[in-house]
Structures are given as structure tokens and as C-alpha cells.
């Protein structure tokens, strides 16, 4: 009798899981997102000729007509209704696919590799982003204002105008380039660059060869026309940053000084850990040593130093918690947190990953404040469509692809896995909640945090593996086992930073010290894991193969969820499908 009762309970639990997953999985916007991704990727990878772009325009018009016809066609038979629905769905998918190809060429910048020179030249660049490198260097994205083959730098607008009249090449004006200002080991000059500044420099400029290496391939498909490198000694600022960028640059310096205040500042080991803590919060990898960068890359947890959804979401929750402690109503908290998360993104130089996360959090929380029930997956799809519509070449950006795939995996697969693990390991499950003491409630809360950390780390790490192999040629397959330590550690450090930003300096030392000690533990753990040589070097050379491997995991999970699959099929089939397709993608 007992076995029969247990079987009935297990059946009821499985049925509840099916129902909850079926309700969670509804995302009609995927019908639009998937063909748009395929359309943008096809346009960028195959580089269609003009005639094929015209064909895509006519195809979009044709399928738009088919969709409208099916939409307004009336039928009384059941078979006719089914056929009409399928024609409508198929024509919508085809319409979005071909419209994405047309939109890609209408909006995306064109590569100028055929006309870009390979020469030494004087250039004037407008800086779009700046990342510190070893030996005091700086690299990032810039727009080419002018170029001429002369060592004399055009420092003033008058000199630029004169250079234009003496053979300056103006056909490349406005092209996007990747710059690298560097020192050799014998030079000790430094340069501090704020985005929106203009820099004049003399150095080597060359076109992008997409077959050279993975980084060149990344630059090419992201719309870069060339690369420029110069010694810092041959660079000079010719225009200050705008006030908007300068405000956030000053804010970053202030926050950096606040986070550097600890109780053991005189200790060399604590200073090194504090630098890692600041690098984690501000996304400034130059604060890490060369050896530390290598160790974190090999262990597959370098993502904790890239300000993204993990940092933004944790920061928003921490600020919301602090506001709750002082009695701010929850709905008002949502409106206060929105400018706070954008300020945090600003002091980190507005990385696209942080902006995407801030926009999505603001959208979801805004719906909550308006008493609307948000659909997280639909919000993710909508934000992806908006960003792709503005700049289609983001489809080839490593940060965009990895962050959206990771978040999608967390929503589709990680959330149900969290609920499953939590139900298995949560203590005091049989005791009514109103009968629990403080210690038991804390234990339950810690159990839920552990369950969420394990599930999120597993889903994100597994989903990002194919694209990591494509973009970087290296993967840490065992990161799914230990990345939860870094997810929880980084989240704790972000919470400490949020507290330090609002507390007086003498008290701010306490959370900063706790975060620095946590960073020290993460450093030592990374050194140990790196010594085990667990990383795997492999390369997925085709973007289509990487997308197929990615889709195998996400699509399998989504299809099973949409059909109300049971727990065993739902948790086992997606990782198995993803692993098999990833191995095949590496082989072929």
C-alpha cells in the first residue's frame, strides 16, 4: 500500500512539473527571433550580391502577401483551418527571414577590406571604447576620421583641412577600426583614454583578414574594416571627451577609490585580492596581472570579470534590498533601481552586455511596478530583437551571443532545474512555514541559493560551450562543476560593492575587506584548478556549426517544455543533444 501511495505521489509531482513547465515555456516571439537570427547570420556570412538582395526583397513581399491572405481567409472545415494556420506560421517565418536579410544590408556597416590600405600612416581616431592592456597600453574600438601617409600628425582642424587638399584619403572616413596603443618592455609611457576622445597617432594600419585567426574573424564579421597599432609615444589627444562620458569616467574613479579602502591595505596579498575585487566590479581586467588572466581563462571563469547580467541583476537586487531596509515601498524601489543600474553600467564604460542586462531588468521590473505579470522569456526575446534591429552585426559579437544564449538557457532549463534540486535538498520540507524559527528559515534560504547557483552555473556553462569554442578555441568542460563557486563568489562581491557605495568610508571598509578575502579565495581556487590542466583546446570553425550545437541544447529543452515532458526526459535529453552536436561540430 505504501509503495502504491508513493507511486501516486510521484505521479502527481511529475504532473505538476509538466503543467508548470508548459505554462512557463510559452514564447510566441521565438517564431520571430529564430528566423531573424538565421537571416542576419546568412546575410553576414554569405555576403550576398546585389541581385540576391533584390531577390530577398521580392521574397519578403511575396510571403507578406501570403501571410495576409492566410490571415483573412475564412474556412469552415477542420482540415482547412489547420492548413491555414500552418501556412500563416510558415509564411511569417519566411517573411522574417528574408526581411532580416534586407534589413541587414540596409543598416549594418559594410566592410571595406578591398580598399583598405596596408601601410604606415597618420590617422585621427574617435574612440568608442577603451580597455587597458599590459605595460600601460590601451585597445578598443574607434572610428576613423582621417588618414594620410605622412608622419606629421594632423593635430588641428586647420591642419586636417590642409591635409585633405594634399592627397588625404577620404574614402575611409567613418570606417570602424580596432586600435592598439602599446609600449614595448623598454618603454614606460602610459596613456589614459576616455571614450569619445579624439586621438592623433602615427602607426601601422592594415585590413582585416578573416582567415588569419579567431580574433580577426570576430573583427571582420563585426564590421571592422581594419586594425591600427602604434606606440604610445606616437599618440596624442586632440579633443577632450564629451561631458556625458567624462561624468561616468569620474564616477568610475570615485567608485574605484571607495572599493580600494580595506582594513588590511598594507598587506601585499590583500592589495592583490582587492585589485581582483575592483576588476570584478568595474570590469577593468587591467587590474589583474598577466598570470591571473591566464589562470582565469584556462579555468573557464573569466566571465566574472566581464560586467554582464550576473553583475547587473545582483547589483539591482542588492540596491532593492538596501532600499527595503530603510522602508522604501517595493513599487517605488523599482523606479529608483532603474537609474542605479544604468549608472553602474556607465561607470563600467557602458559595455553592451551590461546595457542589455540593464534594459531587460528595467523592462521586467517596470511590468511588475505596473502590476503586470512579466514573461521572462518573452522579455528576453523582445530585447534581443530590439538590439538586433538597431545593429544587426551584433549577431557575430561574442558578448551578445554568449550572454543571450546563457540567459535563455537559464530561463528555459536552469529555472526548472533549480526547482527540482531545491525540492530534493531543501531541509524542513514537512514543517509548516509559520512554524519555522529564524535559524531554520536561514537554512532553507541558503539551500535555495545553493540550488539556484548550481542550476544556473550548469545551464549557462553548458549552453555557452559551442560558442566559446567558436570564438576562443578553448573550453573548460568541467567548469559546470566548479563555476557555481565563482557565480556565488562574484555575486557576494557585487553585494559588498553595492553596500560600500552607500555606506560611510569608515564602515565601507567592512564589506570591502569581506569581498577582498572572497576574491583571495577565488584566486587560490583558480590557481589549484589551473594546475590540474582541465581545459580543452578545440575549434569550431563554422559559425553555422556553433549555432547548430547551441540550438540542439536550447531547442530540445524548449520543445520538451512546450510539450509538457516529464522530468527525466527534460533534464537528460537537452545536455545529451548539446554534447553530441558540439563534438560533431568540432570534428567537422
pLDDT at 495: 92
Rg of the chain on CA atoms, in Å: 26
Looking at residues 76-88, what average pLDDT do you find? 83
What is the C-alpha separation between 486 and 519, in angstroms, rounded?
Answer: 9
Other Cβ atoms less than 10 A from the Cβ of 560: the count is 23
Strand 138-148 and strand 474-475: pairing? unpaired
CA neighbor of 137 nearest in space, from 217, 209, 203? 203
pLDDT at 426: 78
In the block, residue with C-alpha cell 542605479: 340
Q: How confident is the model at residue 171 (pLDDT cuts 50, 70, 90)?
A: low
CB-based contacts of 243, cutoff 8 Å, min separation 6: none
In the block, residue with C-alpha cell 530540445: 556
pLDDT at 114: 46
pLDDT at 30 over 80: no
Q: Counting Cβ atoms within 10 Å, is residue 152 exposed (0-12), middle (13-18) or buried (19+)?
A: exposed
pLDDT at 497 over 90: yes
What is the C-alpha separation between 228 and 147, in angstroms, rounded?
Answer: 11
Could you report the per-residue pLDDT of 236-269, keeping only the tens digit for each?
Answer: 888 888 888 888 888 888 998 999 988 887 788 8
Looking at residues 407-414, what average pLDDT do you find? 83
| String of DSSP letters for 523-555 | HHHHHHHHHTT--EE-----HHHHHHHHHHHHH
241: cell is 571627451
pLDDT at 158 over 60: no
CB-based contacts of 394, cutoff 8 Å, min separation 6: 352, 387, 388, 400
Q: How confident is the model at residue 163 (pLDDT cuts 50, 70, 90)?
A: very low
CA neighbor of 145 nearest in space, from 130, 163, 131, 132? 163
Domain borders along the chain are 17-107, 119-241
Beta bridge partners of 143: 126, 176
pLDDT at 278: 92
CA 202 vs CA 139, 162, 181: distances in Å: 15, 18, 10
Quick one: what percent of the chain has pLDDT higher than 90? Answer: 9
What is the C-alpha separation between 112 and 221, in angstroms, rounded?
Answer: 12
Fold classification of 119-241 (topology level): OB fold (Dihydrolipoamide Acetyltransferase, E2P) (2.40.50)
CA 203 vs CA 123, 136, 227, 317: distances in Å: 8, 17, 10, 46
CA 84 vs CA 26, 199, 257, 463: distances in Å: 21, 59, 64, 35
pLDDT at 558: 80
User: 481 and 454 in contact (C-beta within 8 Å)?
Assistant: no
pLDDT at 6: 52
Strand 131-132 and strand 474-475: pairing? unpaired
What is the C-alpha separation between 519 and 374, in angstroms, rounded?
Answer: 35
Amino acid at each position: 500500500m505504501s509503495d502504491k501511495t508513493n507511486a501516486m505521489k510521484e505521479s502527481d509531482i511529475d504532473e505538476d512539473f509538466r503543467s508548470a513547465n508548459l505554462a512557463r515555456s510559452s514564447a510566441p516571439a521565438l517564431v520571430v527571433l529564430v528566423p531573424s537570427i538565421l537571416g542576419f547570420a546568412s546575410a553576414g556570412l554569405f555576403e550576398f550580391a546585389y541581385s540576391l538582395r533584390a531577390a530577398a526583397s521580392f521574397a519578403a513581399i511575396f510571403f507578406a502577401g501570403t501571410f495576409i491572405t492566410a490571415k483573412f481567409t475564412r474556412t469552415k472545415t477542420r482540415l482547412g483551418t489547420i492548413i491555414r494556420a500552418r501556412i500563416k506560421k510558415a509564411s511569417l517565418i519566411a517573411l522574417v527571414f528574408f526581411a532580416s536579410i534586407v534589413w541587414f544590408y540596409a543598416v549594418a556597416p559594410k566592410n571595406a577590406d578591398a580598399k583598405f590600405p596596408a601601410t604606415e600612416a597618420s590617422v585621427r581616431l574617435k574612440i568608442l571604447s577603451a580597455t587597458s592592456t599590459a605595460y600601460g597600453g590601451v585597445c578598443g574600438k574607434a572610428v576613423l576620421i582621417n588618414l594620410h601617409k605622412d608622419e606629421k600628425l594632423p593635430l588641428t582642424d586647420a591642419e586636417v583641412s590642409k591635409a585633405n587638399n594634399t592627397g588625404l584619403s577620404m574614402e575611409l572616413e567613418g570606417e570602424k577600426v580596432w586600435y592598439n596603443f602599446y609600449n614595448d618592455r623598454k618603454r614606460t609611457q602610459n596613456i589614459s583614454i576616455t571614450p569619445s576622445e579624439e586621438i592623433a597617432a602615427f602607426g601601422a594600419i592594415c585590413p582585416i583578414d578573416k582567415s588569419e585567426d579567431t580574433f580577426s574573424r570576430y573583427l571582420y564579421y563585426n564590421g571592422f574594416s581594419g586594425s591600427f597599432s602604434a606606440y604610445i609615444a606616437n599618440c596624442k589627444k586632440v579633443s577632450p571627451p564629451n561631458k556625458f562620458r567624462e561624468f561616468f569616467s569620474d564616477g568610475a574613479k570615485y567608485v574605484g577609490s571607495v572599493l580600494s579602502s580595506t582594513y588590511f591595505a598594507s598587506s601585499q596579498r590583500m592589495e592583490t585580492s582587492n585589485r581582483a575585487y575592483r576588476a570584478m566590479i568595474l570590469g577593468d581586467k587591467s587590474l589583474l596581472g598577466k598570470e591571473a588572466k591566464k589562470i582565469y581563462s584556462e579555468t573557464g571563469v573569466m566571465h566574472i570579470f566581464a560586467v554582464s547580467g550576473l553583475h547587473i541583476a545582483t547589483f539591482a537586487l542588492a540596491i532593492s534590498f538596501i532600499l527595503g531596509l530603510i522602508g522604501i515601498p517595493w513599487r517605488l524601489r523599482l523606479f529608483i533601481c532603474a537609474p542605479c543600474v544604468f549608472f553602474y553600467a556607465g561607470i563600467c564604460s557602458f559595455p553592451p552586455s551590461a546595457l542589455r542586462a540593464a534594459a531587460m531588468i528595467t523592462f521586467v521590473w517596470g511590468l511588475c511596478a505596473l502590476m503586470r505579470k512579466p514573461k521572462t522569456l518573452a522579455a528576453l526575446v523582445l530585447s534581443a530583437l530590439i538590439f538586433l534591429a538597431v545593429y544587426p552585426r551584433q549577431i557575430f559579437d561574442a558578448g551578445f551571443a554568449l550572454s543571450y544564449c546563457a540567459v535563455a538557457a537559464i530561463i528555459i532549463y536552469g529555472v526548472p532545474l533549480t526547482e527540482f534540486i531545491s525540492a530534493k535538498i531543501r531541509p524542513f520540507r514537512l514543517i509548516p512555514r509559520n512554524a519555522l524559527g529564524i535559524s531554520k528559515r536561514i537554512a532553507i534560504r541558503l539551500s535555495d541559493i545553493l540550488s539556484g547557483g548550481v542550476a544556473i552555473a550548469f545551464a549557462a556553462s553548458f549552453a555557452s560551450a559551442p560558442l566559446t569554442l567558436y570564438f576562443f578555441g578553448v573550453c573548460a568542460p568541467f567548469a559546470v562543476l566548479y563555476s557555481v563557486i565563482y557565480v556565488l563568489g562574484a555575486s557576494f562581491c557585487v553585494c559588498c560593492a553595492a553596500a560600500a557605495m552607500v555606506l560611510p568610508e569608515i564602515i565601507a571598509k567592512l564589506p570591502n575587506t569581506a569581498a577582498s578575502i572572497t576574491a583571495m579565495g577565488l584566486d587560490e581556487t583558480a590557481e589549484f584548478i589551473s594546475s590540474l590542466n582541465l581545459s580543452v583546446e578545440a575549434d569550431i570553425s563554422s559559425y553555422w556549426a556553433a549555432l547548430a550545437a547551441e540550438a540542439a541544447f536550447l531547442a530540445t529543452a524548449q520543445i520538451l517544455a512546450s510539450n509538457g515532458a516529464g522530468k527525466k526526459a527534460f533534464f537528460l535529453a537537452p545536455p545529451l543533444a548539446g554534447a553530441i552536436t558540439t563534438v560533431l561540430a568540432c570534428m567537422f
